[in-house]
Each structure stands twice: as structure tokens, then as C-alpha cells.
């Protein structure tokens, strides 16, 4: 009996690969294809697949997508590993300037000016400051969208607490934000007034807006500044003193991931995030939600009127197997990705039509909870300057991680602020040195 | 009174039995939870383990329905089977030579082989990666297979087993005029069923559960193996625990079943390998 | 038969032997030994950014100096040692106790043994998902025991004190089977008569273990010790699956440091130097263990 079962199992095990072999059909050789990579989370997203389908229909070029296992950080590390190994993937997306800059430095990307201008396109004019022009005057990517930060809030919790909704047309400060959050917090009901992720830039968000430099003039670490301490104390106060923001230990216990607010926003009154998050809040299928949401501007520190804005870039790998198709895909994404993703185009100026396209469908999908004007006023027409969310420069990736690790330890009350600052400065300087 | 001590002993023995069972159940509790929770909805994930619920298949549909799921399973089986075949083909002759033939340099070679056992793969992942990249081996199952075929552990296991085969047998064969290859093929291999079974089983478990190598060396989603592929289901972070657990179940249950049926060889293998000292 | 002039048949034997080991040794040299040596080479090259990823410029001892001067390398190293010590001590002691208990007959022994062996065959990534679920401090089933008494209980992976030990204990849980089986096999080789003699002489249970069992299985225990020490440094997957080095750097082990230095920050030179130093350390530890072993075995 046992033997028969054993044989049966083994037979089953051996037979399986045969099925697998049948499932992976190869595309015909004369078909035009382009290959790209994406995060594991993107691969399941409807918009991403629809975008690629639309590209295929329009151009006849088949898009082959390689998702990477693990979380978003793993993704960028893995892409670097593959590029180092001479990956032949055609189009490489870089979210934010940090990875983009390092990859350009490493010579992974094809310079695009000549190719793009050869198509009669003046990218400098179209994308303005959003075009990542390097010191050599060339650019190695086209921006496909920008993400502007804003505050999402739970209207039901505001109503319940009797607090008026934040304005979409007037600026407000982080102190205003904290007061609002305190008024919304209801510990007995498990409601927190504020929810910000326990990572950069949120841990030091005010100093990012203040453009407090991360490096000293001699290139060493400049993390320990009075402004930075103030920003860190602010987050600390929110979590441990005013208790109006979900504390870091709870954030870790909840295993909070990028989509947490879309699922747990019913007890989190305000959430600071990029505008891309509307996609999740509007997706009733993936994230069923029984509360109404609104949108507000990112608060700014007193005297600094900057919003955090980051761009997404698409580049062509120097080892690309299909360089022509790659160019085609990169150009198309620059004009179309934002439409599918529900984002903001990276154009220098937005026409009325762009505004309608970008925000119209979002407003519509929100079922009247937010309007085109809300979106436009909070994200674009807010009179705010734009600053980058990432630390950029020598050992930026390590810098960012070290700051995250040490600050988290501080917010968990494992070490005091002086130790934290000392650790960050020491470790970052060690990292910077090892790059020399 | 003898009767009383026996009774006392009996009670003691019963307590012992119960304790052993309890600890045993505790040991497998993670697997029980894994399977039970994988049939629940997200909302029920943290309900008590014995709480009644209506089992759903949606989590498994999501895992098994993944476009590349069969690729991962298929690649893993292909890798395991090819590795085992080549491994046996190179290890059996080498083990025979090391255990039955005296030749110059055998001690030196064995010493070098044994010395490398001391170096965990973690310490050499960087040069391995760079080297495999140089020789264009990355991103195929061969980058897992080729380094696996000459695993010293199995050489030791097999050599030890060959040494336990009575000397007379091969001597008799030699007198009959048989060459070494013939002796290996006709006498040693037919006798080494248990050792081969152990090799197969251990290879299966080790390659199946290898995370670091395929994660590092394989980049295409359709070339990936099952264990690193589990990380594709972690894209949603802590959000979808049941789906992650369904993935974990799919990756572990087959090997647990295989193990339950072949435990005998597993135990025999551990105890007959060179480990006895 | 003189040493220099072998008989004809011996020489033919030798040639056959070389042929028989050739495939194995060749594969070994190309895919196992060479990468190890290559690592030593890379550790002397200036390969510390994406731009210099293919550089073969000689760096002297620079990479080693950078590695030794980096404080995170030392904390990671310390964590690796803590992991290793807890792992080896627990796995050896628990393995021994359970093996001795399994040597006694009881109802359903085979089934219970299977239960103990099961964790060994499963992979850490899958197991990590389950343990993260079970040890969730706010909702998890383990902390439910604490919630009964109104406290939240330990923070497990989120506690800097507990994260590393918790991960280690889970690694022990997974590795226990190997130790149990090996010791059990050695115990079954201890002749029955020895126990009987000991019993007649009125030896208690502890004495029996000390004077009869331990000396008999000492060689096995030392062999196991060596294997467990080596395995205790193979902890990359365990840490990645359970804590990813956190919280902060509380459970960052050296293998994680090597991985990140190389594959996240592209410092291949420094990471290789760390690897070489780490390997040298492990070899040194094993050399000490084997010295101690020969001393101990002599005395027995």
C-alpha cells in the first residue's frame, strides 16, 4: 500500500514538468518585442497590464515583462544586479532619481538626446525641469510621470470628530496638521489622527521640504543639523507625546506595506503619500472601502513652501536586445503611462486637456469624493516649489537605508537622539569613504 | 512491593508518552496553522486556530493561477532530477576510487575536498556570482545544477557506504578477471540502493529548499525555482497573509509527503554517512 | 612492492582511479574550488561601485582595511557569533536530550519522531511566513497567551533584544532533526550489555549518561559539533525570511552584510574581503574544535 502511494507520488512529481513545458509558449520569431522589468506588485495591477496591452495594440510590439520577487527595495537592488551581470532587458524603469543617477553613473543607459531629436521631438521643451539632463548635456531617460505628495483623509472620521475638512486652496503648516490630527485622534476607538510611513522621507519630511543639505561641502555626512533634529522631534512628538500618529512599533507589528492605508484607512484619519495612491483608493474591487476620502495639500514647515515631487524614468539598457522597440516604448510611456496609472504627466506645463485627462478619470472613479479641481489645486496649482524625496549623492542608497534603520531604532525608544545622530553620521561617513 | 513500582513506572511512562506527543504536536503546529489559515479569508486570518470558518479556495486559486506557477514547479523538478542524475554519475565512480583503489594523491585530493566543506556558501556568494556571470551561466537552471553536482557531502556518504561492502566480494570479482568499472557497475551499484536512495532524498530536499542561489543567480521570472518564487507573493506585504500561507503550503506540502513516505532512507542516510566519525 | 616502482597492475589501477575521479574532481575544480580562489582575487581589486564593476585594478589591502574599519561589519560579525553560539548550544543539547528520550520505547514513537523530523525538510522562506504570522505581537496566536492575562507579550521580531534569539530558535527548530537522527543512530550502536552492566553496578540515569553513553558517542558528537558550527554560519536565508536584519541593525548578521555590500551597494571588492575574512574565521574555529576533539578523545 505504502509502496503504491510512493510510486504514485513520484510519478506525479515527474509528470508535472511535462505540463509546465507545455504552458510556456514561445512567441513567434518574426514578432517585434520589447522587454522590461517591474516590481512584483505591479505585475498584478490592472492598469499596468492594460497599459502594455494598449501599447501592443497601437504599435504591434509585444511587451514581455519580468517582475522581480520580493518588495520594492529588493526590486531596485535586483535590477542593479542584473544590469551588472549584463542583462539584455531593453527598458529599465527607475522610480525616483536615486537609482537613476547611480545607473547613469555606471554607464548602464543609452544617451537619448540624439535618438529622440532624430524623431523630431524636443524633449527639453516638452518636459522642462522634469527632464533629467546630466552634466554632459545629454539625458538618459524620459520621465513618464511625476508624483506629487498630498494628504489623503477619511471624511467620515472628520465628520465624527466634528473637525472641518482641510482646505484644498489654502496652505497649511505641519503644526496645523498636528493640531488637526490631535483633534481627530480617538484612542478608545483605536483612531489615529495621522498615519505616515515609518521611513524616509516622512521621518524627516520637513527638512526635505526645507532642502536642508544631506552632505557637507567636503562631501561628508551632514545629517545632524538643528533643522533635522527638529523634524525628527516632530515625528517623535506625534507618536509618543501627542500620540496622534500611529507609533512605529505598531506600524511594524502590523507589517505595514505600501498599500496599508487603502485597507486600514477606516481608523486612520490622515495619510501623507504621493498622488498615485488615488488608484488604490478608487479600486473598490481590490480594496473594498466603506468610508469616504478627501484630498488636501501637503503641509509645509513655516516659511518654506515646497512640496515633495518625484519623477519616474524609463531608460534604454546599453545591452538592449531590441533597441529600436525600446525607444518606441520609452517614447510611448512618456506620453501615456500617466494616463493609465492615474498620475500626473511630466510635462513642463499642463494644458486644460491634460488636466482633464489626468484628473478627470480619477475624480470620476472616486464617485464624487474628490473633484478635478481638488486634485489640480492640491497637486499642481498649489504655488509650491518642487523638491526631491530621495537623498541623492555619494552612497545615497546606503545613506537612505542607514537613516531609516537608525531612526526607526530611535522611534522605538531603543536609543536616544544623540546616539542616533552619532550612528548615522559615523555609518554614512564609513559608507562614503568605502566608495572612494 | 514490586507491584507498586511497576504501577509507578507505568504512570511515569504514560506521562512520558503524553509529554512526547505534546511536544511533537507543538513541533508541527506551524504546519497545521499554515494549512488551516491558508483556507481562510483575510479578515479571518487572525481568528483563533480552532474557530469555525468556511474554507475558501480563493487563496490557492491565486497561487496556482499565477501565470508562472507551473514554470516554477517544472524548473524545480527539472533542476532536481538533472542534478541527481549527474551527481550520481560522477559521485559513484569517484567514491569507488576513493574507497577501493590506492592511488597517489588520493589523500591530498580528499583533504582539499574536505577543507572546502568548512567554507559556507554565504561567504563565497560574491565571487560565485561574478564568476558565473563571467562564464555566462546566470539565469538558467544550469547555474544551480553545475555547482551542485560535485558536492563533497555525497562523496563522503557514498565512500563510507562502499567501505562497508565486504572486501571479499570485490576480491572475488577481481580474481574472476573483472575490471574496476565492471565491479562498480555489477557489484557495488546494485548493492548501494539505500545509499542512492539517501542521495536522491537529500538532493531533493536541499535543492528544493535552496533560496539564496536561485534568488541571486536567476533573474527571469519564468526561469525561477519555487522557493525564491514564494517571494512573488509577498508583494502585498503583511496584507494578504492567507495567500502567502497558501504559497508556503504549496511549496512545503509535497516535500513533507515525500518525506513521510521515505523517512526510512532519510534516517538510514544520516546514520550511514561519514558522520559516525 | 617498492614505493617508486609500482607493479604493472597497481599502475593500471591508479590510471583507472584517476579516470574514475576525473569527472567529479573536474566539476569540483571548475564550479566550486575556482570561485573560492576567485574570491580572494576580487578582494584585492578596486570594484566598489557600479561604475568599477569590472575593474581589475589592484587595490592592495584597501578592501580589507575598509571592511575592518566599518563598524557595521563588526556589529554584524558579533551578531553572527551570538547566533552561532545560541544555535550550536541549543541544537546540540536539545538534540541529545530528545535523542536519548527517543531511544526509549513508547506508544506511537514512530509518529512522534516524524513530527520532530518534519521541520527539517521544509524551507525557511515558507516557514518564515508562518512564524511571522504566529509571532505577530498584536494579533498573533502566540501572543494570545499573553493577551489572556491582559499584557501584549514579547515583541519578538520587533524587539532588538529578542529578534536575533527568536530567529535563532526557529533555525534550531528547523535543524533539530539532523542532530536527533545522528545521535539516535550512535546510541543504537551502543551495545545493550553496557547498559546492563551499568545497571547491575547500580549506576543512576545521570551516571549512565556520563560514564557509558557519552564516551561511546563522543566521536559522533564532535563530528556533529563541527557540522553544526558550519551550519550555524549559513543563516542568510533564516535572517532574510524572518527579520531582514531588523529592527534597526539588531539582527543583521555578517552574511547579510556581505550580501548587501555586494548586491545592494555594488561594493564587490569590500564584500569579497569580508567573505574571505569570514571564511578564514570559520576555518580557524573548526581548527580549534578539531584540536579540542583530539585532546578529549585521547583522554577518554
What are the sequence ranges of the domains in chain A?
29-147+310-365, 148-309+368-435
Centre a 10 Å sphere on the Cβ of residue A148 and count the other Cβ atoms it contains. 22
Whether C232 shows a pLDDT value over 60: the answer reads yes
Whether A79 shows a pLDDT value over 50: the answer reads yes
Query: Which pLDDT score is estimated for A74?
Result: 79
pTM flag (> 0.90)? no
Range of the domain at B86: 61-276
What's the CATH code of the domain at B100? 1.10.3720.10
Do residue B55 and residue B112 come from a single domain?
no
What angle separates helix B125-134 from helix C268-299, to the nearest 10 degrees? 130
Query: Which pLDDT score is estimated for C13?
Result: 83
Which residue is closest to C138 within chain B, CA to CA? Answer: B46
What CA–CA distance (Å, rounded) separates C64 from A299?
A: 47
Q: Which residues of A touch B223 (CB under 8 A)?
A: none
Q: Report residue A36's pLDDT band, with 50, 70 and 90 as the boundaries.
A: very high
Q: How many CB pairs under 8 A join A and B?
A: 101
DSSP run (H or E) holding B80: helix B69-100
Do residue B118 and residue B49 come from a single domain?
no
What CA–CA distance (Å, rounded) separates C41 from C51?
A: 19
What CA–CA distance (Å, rounded) separates B253 from B258?
A: 9
Mutate to test the interface with B, among A69, A72, A80, A283 (most CBs of B within 10 A): A69
Set of cell numbers at residue C288 = 580549534
C-alpha C298: how far from chain center: 26
In tens, the pLDDT along B240-274 reads: 788 889 999 998 988 888 888 888 777 776 666 54
What angle separates helix C214-232 from helix C268-299, to the nearest 10 degrees? 180
∠ Cα A121 A123 A129 (to 5°): 165
Q: Is C151 on the interface with B (CB under 8 A)?
A: no
What letter would DSSP give residue A415? S
- Start-end of H helices in A119-184: 123-127, 155-161, 174-184
- Specify the CATH number for A148-309+368-435; select among 3.20.20.10, 3.40.190.10, 3.20.20.140, 3.40.630.30: 3.40.190.10
Q: Which residues does B159 contact at the CB level (< 8 Å), separation at least 6?
A: B95, B98, B99, B274
In tens, the pLDDT along C121-156 reads: 888 988 998 998 899 887 888 988 888 888 878 888
Query: Which pLDDT score is estimated for A230?
Result: 94
The total domain count for chain B is 2
Q: Is C145 on the interface with B (CB under 8 A)?
A: no
Q: Which residues of A touch C53 (CB under 8 A)?
A: 84, 106
Do residue B207 and residue B258 come from a single domain?
yes
| β partners of residue A62 | A33
Whether A20 shows a pLDDT value over 50: the answer reads no
What CA–CA distance (Å, rounded) separates C38 from A13?
A: 38
Question: pLDDT below 50 — which residues of chain B?
Answer: 1, 236-238, 274-277
Q: Which residues of C touch A397 (CB under 8 A)?
A: 264-265
Q: Which residues of B touch C237 (CB under 8 A)?
A: 211-212
Query: Which pLDDT score is estimated for B5?
Result: 61
Q: Which of residues 75-94 of C touch B (CB under 8 A)?
A: none
Which residue is closest to A411 within chain C, CA to CA? Answer: C248
**Highest mean pLDDT of the ranges A259-263, A387-391, A402-406:** A402-406
CATH class for the region spanning A29-147+310-365: alpha beta
Query: Which pLDDT score is estimated for A253?
Result: 75
Q: Average pLDDT in the C211-235 region?
A: 87
DSSP run (H or E) holding B59: helix B58-64
> ipTM score of the complex?
0.87
DSSP run (H or E) holding A309: strand A306-316
Which residue is closest to B126 within chain C, CA to CA? Answer: C272
Strands A62-68 and A91-95: unpaired
Do residue B160 and residue B23 come from a single domain?
no
CB-CB under 8 Å, C25 with B256: no
Q: Report residue A142's pLDDT band, with 50, 70 and 90 as the boundaries.
A: very high
Q: Average pLDDT in the C162-186 region?
A: 92
Query: Which pLDDT score is estimated for B265?
Result: 77
What letter would DSSP give residue A133? B
What CA–CA distance (Å, rounded) separates B105 from B98?
A: 10
Backbone angles phi, psi at C55, to 5 degrees: -65, 145
In tens, the pLDDT along A268-306 reads: 999 999 998 898 888 887 778 889 999 999 999 988 889
Query: Which pLDDT score is estimated for A155?
Result: 95
First to last CA, chain A: 67
Can you identify the CATH homologous superfamily of domain C71-299? MetI-like (1.10.3720.10)
What CA–CA distance (Å, rounded) separates B115 from A51?
A: 54
Do residue B182 and residue B264 come from a single domain?
yes
What letter would DSSP give residue A394? T
Set of cell numbers at residue A49 = 497590464
Q: Which candidate, B230, B221, B39, B30, places its Cα nearest to that of C126?
A: B230
What CA–CA distance (Å, rounded) separates A328 from A60?
A: 11
Amino acid at each position: 500500500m505504502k509502496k503504491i502511494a510512493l510510486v504514485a507520488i513520484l510519478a506525479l512529481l515527474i509528470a508535472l514538468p511535462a505540463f509546465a513545458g507545455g504552458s510556456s509558449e514561445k512567441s513567434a520569431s518574426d514578432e517585434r518585442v520589447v522587454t522590461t522589468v517591474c516590481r512584483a506588485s505591479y505585475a498584478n495591477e490592472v492598469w499596468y497590464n492594460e497599459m502594455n496591452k494598449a501599447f501592443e495594440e497601437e504599435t504591434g510590439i509585444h511587451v514581455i515583462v519580468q517582475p522581480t520577487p520580493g518588495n520594492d527595495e529588493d526590486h531596485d537592488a535586483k535590477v542593479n544586479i542584473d544590469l551588472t551581470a549584463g542583462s539584455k532587458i531593453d527598458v529599465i524603469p527607475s522610480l525616483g532619481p536615486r537609482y537613476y543617477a547611480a545607473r547613469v553613473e555606471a554607464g548602464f543607459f543609452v544617451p537619448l538626446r540624439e535618438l529622440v531629436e532624430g524623431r523630431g521631438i524636443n524633449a527639453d521643451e516638452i518636459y522642462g525641469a522634469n527632464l533629467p539632463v546630466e552634466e554632459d548635456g545629454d539625458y538618459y531617460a524620459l520621465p513618464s510621470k511625476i508624483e506629487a505628495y498630498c494628504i489623503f483623509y477619511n471624511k467620515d472620521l472628520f465628520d465624527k470628530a466634528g473637525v472641518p475638512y482641510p482646505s484644498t486652496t489654502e496652505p497649511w503648516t505641519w503644526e496645523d496638521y498636528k493640531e488637526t490630527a490631535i483633534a481627530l485622534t480617538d484612542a478608545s476607538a483605536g483612531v489615529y489622527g495621522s498615519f505616515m510611513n515609518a521611513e524616509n522621507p516622512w521621518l524627516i519630511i520637513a527638512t526635505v521640504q526645507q532642502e536642508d543639505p544631506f552632505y557637507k561641502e567636503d562631501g561628508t555626512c551632514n545629517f545632524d543639523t538643528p533643522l533635522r533634529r527638529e523634524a525628527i522631534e516632530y515625528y517623535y512628538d506625534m507618536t509618543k507625546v501627542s500620540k496622534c500618529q500611529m507609533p512605529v512599533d505598531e506600524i511594524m507589528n502590523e507589517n505595514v506595506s505600501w498599500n496599508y492605508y487603502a485597507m486600514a484607512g477606516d481608523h486612520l484619519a490622515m495619510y501623507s503619500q504621493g498622488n498615485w495612491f488615488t488608484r488604490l483608493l478608487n479600486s473598490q474591487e481590490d480594496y473594498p472601502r466603506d468610508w469616504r476620502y478627501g484630498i488636501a495639500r501637503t503641509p509645509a514647515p513655516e516659511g518654506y513652501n515646497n512640496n515633495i515631487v518625484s519623477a519616474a524614468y524609463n531608460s534604454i539598457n546599453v545591452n538592449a536586445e531590441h533597441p529600436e522597440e525600446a525607444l518606441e516604448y520609452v517614447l510611448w510611456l512618456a506620453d501615456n503611462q500617466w494616463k493609465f496609472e492615474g498620475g500626473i504627466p511630466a510635462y513642463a506645463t499642463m494644458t486644460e486637456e491634460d488636466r482633464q485627462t489626468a484628473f478627470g478619470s480619477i475624480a470620476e472613479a472616486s464617485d464624487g469624493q474628490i473633484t478635478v479641481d481638488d486634485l489640480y489645486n492640491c497637486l499642481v496649482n498649489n504655488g509650491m516649489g518642487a523638491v526631491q524625496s530621495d537623498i541623492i549623492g555619494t552612497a545615497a542608497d546606503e545613506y537612505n537605508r542607514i537613516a531609516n534603520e537608525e531612526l526607526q531604532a530611535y522611534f522605538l525608544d531603543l536609543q536616544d537622539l544623540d546616539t542616533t545622530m552619532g550612528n548615522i553620521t559615523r555609518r554614512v561617513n564609513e559608507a562614503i569613504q568605502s566608495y572612494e | 512491593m514490586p507491584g507498586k513500582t511497576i504501577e509507578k513506572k507505568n504512570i511515569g511512562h504514560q506521562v512520558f508518552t503524553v509529554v512526547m506527543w505534546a511536544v511533537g504536536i507543538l513541533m508541527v503546529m506551524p504546519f497545521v496553522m499554515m494549512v488551516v489559515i491558508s483556507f481562510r479569508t483575510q479578515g479571518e486570518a487572525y481568528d483563533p486556530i480552532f474557530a469555525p470558518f468556511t474554507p475558501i479556495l480563493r487563496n490557492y486559486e491565486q497561487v496556482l493561477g499565477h501565470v508562472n506557477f507551473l514554470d516554477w514547479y517544472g524548473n524545480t523538478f527539472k533542476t532536481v532530477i538533472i542534478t541527481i542524475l549527474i551527481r550520481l554519475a560522477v559521485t559513484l565512480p569517484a567514491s569507488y576510487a576513493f574507497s577501493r583503489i590506492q592511488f597517489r594523491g588520493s589523500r591530498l585530493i580528499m583533504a582539499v575536498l574536505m577543507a572546502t566543506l568548512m567554507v559556507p556558501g554565504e561567504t563565497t556568494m560574491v565571487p560565485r556570482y561574478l564568476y558565473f556571470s563571467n562564464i555566462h551561466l546566470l539565469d538558467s537552471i544550469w547555474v544551480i545544477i553545475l555547482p551542485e553536482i560535485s558536492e563533497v557531502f555525497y562523496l563522503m556518504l557514498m565512500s563510507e557506504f562502499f567501505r562497508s561492502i565486504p572486501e571479499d566480494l570485490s576480491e572475488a570479482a577481481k580474481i574472476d578477471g573483472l575490471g574496476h568499472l565492471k565491479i562498480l557497475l555489477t557489484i557495488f551499484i546494485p548493492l548501494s540502493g539505500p545509499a542512492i536512495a539517501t542521495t536522491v532524498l537529500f538532493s531533493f530536499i536541499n535543492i528544493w529548499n535552496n533560496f539564496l542561489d536561485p534568488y541571486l543567480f536567476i533573474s527571469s521570472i519564468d526561469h525561477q525555482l519555487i522557493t525564491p518564487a514564494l517571494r512573488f507573493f509577498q508583494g502585498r506585504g503583511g496584507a494578504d497573509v492567507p495567500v502567502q500561507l497558501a504559497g508556503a503550503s504549496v511549496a512545503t506540502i509535497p516535500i513533507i509527503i515525500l518525506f513521510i513516505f521515505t523517512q526510512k532512507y532519510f534516517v538510514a542516510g544520516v546514520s550511514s554517512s561519514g558522520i559516525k566519525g | 612492492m617498492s614505493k617508486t616502482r609500482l607493479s604493472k597492475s597497481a599502475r593500471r589501477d591508479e590510471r583507472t582511479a584517476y579516470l574514475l575521479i576525473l569527472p567529479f574532481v573536474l566539476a569540483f575544480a571548475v564550479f566550486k574550488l575556482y570561485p573560492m580562489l576567485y574570491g580572494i582575487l576580487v578582494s584585492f581589486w578596486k570594484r566598489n561601485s557600479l561604475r568599477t564593476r569590472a575593474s581589475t585594478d589592484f587595490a592592495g589591502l584597501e578592501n580589507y582595511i575598509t571592511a575592518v574599519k566599518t563598524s557595521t561589519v563588526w556589529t554584524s560579525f558579533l551578531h553572527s557569533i551570538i547566533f552561532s553560539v545560541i544555535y550550536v548550544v541549543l541544537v546540540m543539547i536539545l538534540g541529545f536530550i530528545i535523542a536519548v528520550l527517543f531511544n526509549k520505547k513508547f506508544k506511537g514513537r514512530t509518529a512522534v519522531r516524524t513530527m520532530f523530523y518534519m521541520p527539517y525538510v521544509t524551507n525557511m522562506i515558507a516557514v518564515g511566513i508562518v512564524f511571522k504570522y504566529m509571532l505577530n505581537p498584536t494579533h498573533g496566536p502566540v501572543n494570545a497567551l499573553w493577551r489572556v492575562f491582559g499584557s501584549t507579550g514579547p515583541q519578538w521580531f520587533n524587539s532588538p533584544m529578542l529578534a536575533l534569539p527568536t530567529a535563532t530558535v526557529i533555525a534550531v527548530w528547523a535543524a533539530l532533526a539532523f542532530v536527533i537522527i545522528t545521535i539516535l543512530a550512535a546510541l543504537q550502536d551502543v551495545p545493550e550489555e553496557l547498559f546492563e552492566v551499568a545497571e547491575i553496578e547500580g549506576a543512576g540515569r545521570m551516571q549512565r549518561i556520563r560514564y557509558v553513553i557519552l564516551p561511546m558517542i563522543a566521536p559522533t558528537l564532535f563530528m556533529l559539533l563541527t557540522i553544526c558550527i558550519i551550519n550555524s554560519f549559513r543563516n542568510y536565508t533564516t535572517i532574510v525570511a524572518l527579520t531582514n536584519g531588523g529592527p534597526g541593525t539588531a539582527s543583521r548578521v555578517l552574511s547579510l552584510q556581505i550580501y548587501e555590500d555586494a548586491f545592494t551597494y555594488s561594493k564587490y571588492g569590500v564584500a569579497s574581503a569580508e567573505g574571505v575574512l569570514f571564511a578564514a574565521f570559520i576555518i580557524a574555529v573548526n581548527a580549534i574544535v578539531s584540536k579540542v576533539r583530539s585532546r578529549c578523545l585521547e583522554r577518554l
